[in-house]
Amino acid sequence: MTATLDIDHLRQWIGRTQEASDIITPQLVKGLRATLFIDIGESKTGDAAPFTTHWCLAQPVAPASELGPDGHPARGGFLPPVPLPRRMWAGGQLEFLDALRVGDTVTRSSKIVDVTQKTGSTGTLCFASVEHIITTPRGVAIRERQDIVYRDNPPADAKPASAPAPAASPKAQHSESHLADPVLLFRYSALTFNGHRIHYDRDYVTKVEGYPGLIVHGPLQAALQVEFAAKLHNGEPPAKFVYRGVQPLFDGANFSVNANEEGAGLAVWTANADGTPTMKGTATW
């Protein structure tokens, strides 16, 4: 059983800021393009990078002695020290203003804008919302809001959760399929310096967190949705992309990235092998 959530204490983190910078290298772009199922090519200075390359840049680095049991840096610091053990991306919003390019020095300015407590079917949930401004020497390239959710582990004697039953999903006008295997998850974890054990440690994710398999990263699903939406729109990224996780996507089978025309944009979603949506997004230009 976790400690009692002191939401008033956690809300004292609202307004905290952080800044970090990194450089987009040709090798990073090649690796990310390969991982996002894009033609690798030979990247050179000035070439456009994948639209969500900033998720690979200036990630927090902590010594092994300062990591928590889930593989993330111990709680506290910039993000509030939420005592609930499970942490995942719940969703967010991206506004694409300018391309990120090979050779760019990219700066991420971050600010915690909200910390809230809710009650869900699994118990207490805590949400932390962070705003990021991504800049290059040319100015602001991306504005982003990122929503992180914290929740409790299942009881120690609980059986691993079964995947939810398939739910009705829309028929896709556009779709592509990929295999969610441990290599894909490893590559994305390496590119984003993400030590979260739910993406690579099967014993941990099944026996400690109670999931039936390794979990496909939320940002990886969102990145594939953005790239797919752009491919359907003459290579242009959406001016705004809003997304939210619906349920976890597990490894071991094919998954799909889908899109339907909707008003002035696209409804996009990833779905598991049963066709059940796992992340939904809306892309507008």
Domain ranges in the chain? 7-284
pLDDT of residue 266: 98
pTM score > 0.85 for this model? yes
Tokens of 39: 């033609």
Residues 281, 254 contacting (CB under 8 angstroms): no
The pLDDT tens digits for 179-222 are 999 999 999 999 999 999 999 999 999 999 999 999 999 999 99
Residue 7 to residue 83: CA distance in whole angstroms: 11
From first to last of its 285 residues, what are the pLDDT tens digits of the chain?
A: 445 899 999 999 999 999 999 999 999 999 999 999 999 999 999 999 999 999 999 999 999 999 989 998 887 789 999 999 888 999 999 999 999 999 999 999 999 999 999 987 768 999 999 999 999 999 999 999 999 999 987 666 555 555 455 556 789 999 999 999 999 999 999 999 999 999 999 999 999 999 999 999 999 999 999 999 999 999 999 999 999 999 999 999 999 999 999 988 999 999 999 999 999 999 999
One of 3.30.420.10, 3.30.70.330, 3.10.129.10, 3.40.605.10 is the CATH number of 7-284, namely: 3.10.129.10
Complete DSSP assignment for 29-93: HHHHHHHTT-------TTPBPPTTGGGGSS-----GGGB-TTSSBPS-TTS-----SEEEEEEEE
